[in-house]
Structure 1
Amino acid sequence: MTETYADLIAAEDVLLFVNSAVTSTGQREFRSDAYEQRLSLAFVHEYVRVNYRSVYAASLALDINDHNAARIVTQLLRTAGEADAEQKRVEGRLIAARLAVLPPQRVYRIFRELRAAGVNNRRTRAIVRDWLAARPDLAHDAVKYRPGLKAAARHAHLPLDRGELGDFLFAPGRRVRYEHRFLDAYRRAHYEQAALYELPFTVAEGFAARHGVERKVFLERIAPRMTRLERLRSGRAADADLAVMPLTRLALYVLSLGFEERVARRAELTGALRAAARRAAGPYAGTWGRVAAVLDDSYSASGSGVKRRRPLAVALGCHFLLEALAGSYVPLWTSGARDPLLVRPWGPTPLGVRIVDALEAAPERLVIVSDGWDNAPPGLAGEVLRVWRTQLDQERRTSVVHMNPVYDAAGFDVRRLAPSVPTAGIRDAEDLPALVEIAQFAEGRTGLGELRAYLDRRVELFVKGVAV
């Protein structure tokens, strides 16, 4: 055995961090409040950064959520003195690559946090400069993210104080008109209602309220300038193109509809979910053989006030994705539901019973999507899986993996069902194939060396993919 006990512990620590960075956003969950989530997450970040800095940075190449990616970028730049020259070089590539795919509002928030923390070294200024240089239209950013752009320009000592963009940001009363359409539309929108419909939706919304424009009229006229997500959030879902919506986002939208509307639009909604699942499956569609799934639609799948129905949406998205990946597929919802389009969060969590039903189908793969709170009766799922693995399937004819969409703040990880079953955190259903690959390292048969090799491959592919 080439791996030492310390290496195996290190591998477990790294996987624990990956699970937390995939699932937790520091917001309230069903069983823990926001303070507990933030406190737990802060400890895990600090622990892994101090003890495994290279792995901490490499996590930017994984399917972690934007909240944790932003936190990693900030922490790496704030603690640059702890890194050697080679680490800084790799970290710089990873940070630039991750910033390129983060939403711009999050990136500007990172820059403001760095300014507040007094982080202004040469590497940080270069990262800010390069990211801004790659933006497609800084005038658009000046209108939509004005405080963020101003803070970034000042903090990194960028020469944005010249020309009309500089006047717009730092001396708005200097010009009577601007050449750029966004800048001039913003100027005119202060006194001209028609001009607000030339602006991005979030900016125009404030001017509409100032001018007293009726909400319904405003939404109808601004609709062509709204993104798909803005249409959904503003209640104009009919204008959203479901055919190109990501799988988990689409599942959340479906669950937000009443039962009657889901039934009336069954063909449309089911077709859109299956199309999104096929896109997510990609070349792996139909390659997973016989698959059974245990999907948690118990009451705890309702999530929290800030993450409404998120766990159930992940389960619903995984259902359609597994259907696309499998050659043959047996889905089992904990409530006994037969119609995936009409699932709702209710009742207890009889995972053990459903796992027995799933194993009776003799699948090649069993995928469990649940928050891990097995309570009908408590502990049955873990015992079923223990007996199955140690007594009935020692040859591992059936691959079992547990996908958990909820971070357990008290345990600093996602809740597990059994030591013999690998568990991985999941936030978006479309990430399931990649997360199943990561879950293999949680079985305890592989150590830090293999995990580092896997991370190195992901880093190289991630940086090259963004560069292309």
Structure 2
Amino acid sequence: MEGYADLIAAEDVLLFVNAAITATGQREFHSSAAEQQLSLGFLHDYVLGNYREPYAAALALDINHHNAALIVRRLLETAADATPEQRRTEGRLIARRLQLLPPQRVYRLFGELRRAGVNNRRTRAILRDWLAARPDPVLDAVKYRGGLKGVLRHAHLAPAAPELGEFLFGAGPRGRYGTPLLDSWQRAHYTKAAIYELPYTVAEGFARSHRVPRADFLERIAPRLTRLERLRLQENAREHRAEAVRTDRTDLGRMPLTRLALYALSLPPAQRIERRGELTEALRTAARRTAGPEAGRWGKVAAVLDDSYSASGSGTKRRRPLAVALACHFLLEALAERYTPLWTSGRTDALLARPHGATPLGHRIIDALDTAPDRLVIVSDGWDNAPPGLAAEVLRIWRTRLDPDRRTSVVHLNPVYDADGFDVRRLAPTVPTAGLRDAEDLPALVEFARFADGRSDLAELTAHLAARTDRFLTAPSSEAAPPSEVTP
């Protein structure tokens, strides 16, 4: 009975990890935002109440920013329920994870804690230490003025410099600031030239208030754009013929792989064809960088990639599942010694992928297994419907009768959270399934998926989480701190 309870506990923790990787509380193709939020909220409450230590350890895994913030908030709200040892470990995990979160999300989290009345000594210490580690308090004051004011008031902290206090809490405008960025912010209220001395996100509001033509604004603010801002503004710049904002091959090659795939899919097919060489080289460069020393070491790999209509995602997550599949395609190409990609639509031109048609996963899995791969990776939301259930039957027969010795490793990676099932949708009990947010996490998740085949117990999973936690907490600070331009 005890072994059975451990198995159930391991399944519960794995279910939560999959949700924490994929779910963002936003609308998906098959469920509304309200359904997503209700399902995810229940899962957080259930796992926190029953498995507090694994719940906190999830902060050391490749979960998304939305769930990391939810975990931090719930741990701080329920600090009284934790033992002293748990609080010490949680405090270190929280502090480390906050370094990885985009600052705007951290300020939003701190605002939620303030409104919830969470103001214990540990919370104030975490707020204080995070603010003290911020590389540029002046930039934070300008970009996140309301959030920073709220944190300082809530934790009863003094600003980093007296002039910052005057900027944040002063009753009205003053003559002149000694700090250049603060002075530019004040002058931008009255003169257009000062707008272009500010970060883009701040300058945009001033440009609207001064009614600066969009094309002029984009041309002049271009030198201050980060790489990701430049990428996001590509289509807007194209519409307004703002050539200074255009990215070059070097900029694209430095982009994260999944973001680059999203950008490529946002372009009309004609532009993808026109820029095929540039986009393909950028995607392959990003994939090689992601693969690192594992490049070319995965042997013979076959991939079944879902480009059915449901891969279009939703209005808030447009083409997200398809972009993850496209990014995985290029990453698996870099990891494999020999690689065979099979899209559910039957198309062979990955760069022109588009969401269309049904999901004949079973047929494509048969085609993939015919190549006798060392690894089969399936990237799909799991809605096998042409015909329904064929993929599960193919995988069952393959694993139980044709390949019981597991010569071929099969894993299913699912980028979509299923609100009704409180998990990512699975294809077959005999095949491990793991949630996937970004293609960059694929190598780690393929390793982690071995716990999802129903044969691992809680002790093995706990040992894995402890090892990941130890690596997470002892990694150099330079590895934990994300680039300032990376946003969720």
Q: Is the 8 A contact 1:128 1:156 kept in 2?
A: yes
Which residue does the alignment assign to 1:292?
302
Q: Is the 8 A contact 1:382 1:417 kept in 2?
A: yes
Q: How many residues align?
A: 467
- Structure 2: how far apart are the matches of 1:174 and 1:344? 53
Which residue does the alignment assign to 1:425?
435
Secondary structure of the corresponding residue to residue 416 of structure 1:
coil
- Structure 2: how far apart are the matches of 1:367 and 1:224? 42
2:386 corresponds to 1:387: no
Secondary structure of the corresponding residue to residue 177 of structure 1:
coil
- For residues 200 and 42 of structure 1, do their structure 2 counterparts lie closer, same or farther at Cα, with a shift above 3 Å needed? same
1:265-323 deviation per Cα after TM superposition (whole angstroms, max 9, x unaligned): 11111111111111111111111111100000000000000000000000000001011
- For residues 336 and 174 of structure 1, do their structure 2 counterparts lie closer, same or farther at Cα, with a shift above 3 Å needed? closer
- For residues 155 and 386 of structure 1, do their structure 2 counterparts lie closer, same or farther at Cα, with a shift above 3 Å needed? same
Aligned partner letter, 1:11: A
| Mapping 1:154-173, distance limit 5 Å | 154-160=153-159, 163-173=162-172
Which residue does the alignment assign to 1:200?
199
Percent same amino acid at aligned positions?
Answer: 71
1:12-67 deviation per Cα after TM superposition (whole angstroms, max 9, x unaligned): 00010010000010000000010000000000000111111110110001000000
Aligned partner letter, 2:465: L
| Mapping 1:390-405, distance limit 5 Å | 390-405=400-415
| Mapping 1:134-153, distance limit 5 Å | 134-153=133-152
Q: Which runs of 5+ in 1 are unaligned?
A: none
| Mapping 1:372-383, distance limit 5 Å | 372-383=382-393
Aligned partner letter, 2:247: D
Q: Is the 8 A contact 1:351 1:374 kept in 2?
A: yes
Q: Which runs of 4+ in 1 moved over 2 A?
A: 172-175, 232-240
Normalising by structure 1, report the TM-score: 0.98
Aligned partner letter, 2:55: Y
Which residue does the alignment assign to 1:107?
106
- Structure 1: how far apart are the matches of 2:26 and 2:147? 23
Secondary structure of the corresponding residue to residue 411 of structure 1:
coil
Which residue does the alignment assign to 2:322?
312
- For residues 144 and 400 of structure 1, do their structure 2 counterparts lie closer, same or farther at Cα, with a shift above 3 Å needed? same
Deviation at residue 234 of structure 1 after TM alignment: 2.4
Which residue does the alignment assign to 1:463?
473
CA-based RMSD of the aligned residues comes to 1.3
Deviation at residue 128 of structure 1 after TM alignment: 0.4
- Structure 1: how far apart are the matches of 2:275 and 2:462? 47
- For residues 264 and 351 of structure 1, do their structure 2 counterparts lie closer, same or farther at Cα, with a shift above 3 Å needed? same
Secondary structure of the corresponding residue to residue 332 of structure 1:
strand
Aligned partner letter, 1:211: H
- For residues 162 and 244 of structure 1, do their structure 2 counterparts lie closer, same or farther at Cα, with a shift above 3 Å needed? closer
Q: Is the 8 A contact 1:27 1:38 kept in 2?
A: yes
Deviates more, 1:441-450 or 1:230-239: 230-239
- Structure 2: how far apart are the matches of 1:76 and 1:202? 32
Q: Is the 8 A contact 2:258 2:440 kept in 1?
A: yes
Aligned partner letter, 1:104: P
- Structure 1: how far apart are the matches of 2:161 and 2:246? 44
1:367-424 deviation per Cα after TM superposition (whole angstroms, max 9, x unaligned): 0000000000000000000011111111111110000000000000000000000000
Which residue does the alignment assign to 1:27?
26
Deviation at residue 466 of structure 1 after TM alignment: 4.9
Normalising by structure 2, report the TM-score: 0.94
Which residue does the alignment assign to 1:65?
64
- Structure 1: how far apart are the matches of 2:253 and 2:161? 44
| Mapping 1:42-441, distance limit 5 Å | 42-160=41-159, 163-173=162-172, 175-235=174-234, 236=237, 238-239=246-247, 241-441=251-451
Deviation at residue 215 of structure 1 after TM alignment: 0.6
- Structure 2: how far apart are the matches of 1:428 and 1:63? 9
Which residue does the alignment assign to 1:446?
456
Deviation at residue 344 of structure 1 after TM alignment: 0.6
Secondary structure of the corresponding residue to residue 303 of structure 2:
strand
Q: Is the 8 A contact 1:185 1:199 kept in 2?
A: yes
Deviates more, 1:97-106 or 1:458-467: 458-467
Deviation at residue 3 of structure 1 after TM alignment: 7.3
- Structure 1: how far apart are the matches of 2:296 and 2:420? 38
Aligned partner letter, 2:343: W
- Structure 1: how far apart are the matches of 2:135 and 2:71? 25
2:22 corresponds to 1:14: no
Q: Is the 8 A contact 1:3 1:448 kept in 2?
A: no
- Structure 1: how far apart are the matches of 2:193 and 2:465? 52
Q: Is the 8 A contact 2:137 2:160 kept in 1?
A: no
1:328-378 deviation per Cα after TM superposition (whole angstroms, max 9, x unaligned): 111100000111111110010000000000001111110000000000000
Deviates more, 1:291-300 or 1:174-183: 174-183
Q: Is the 8 A contact 1:97 1:466 kept in 2?
A: no
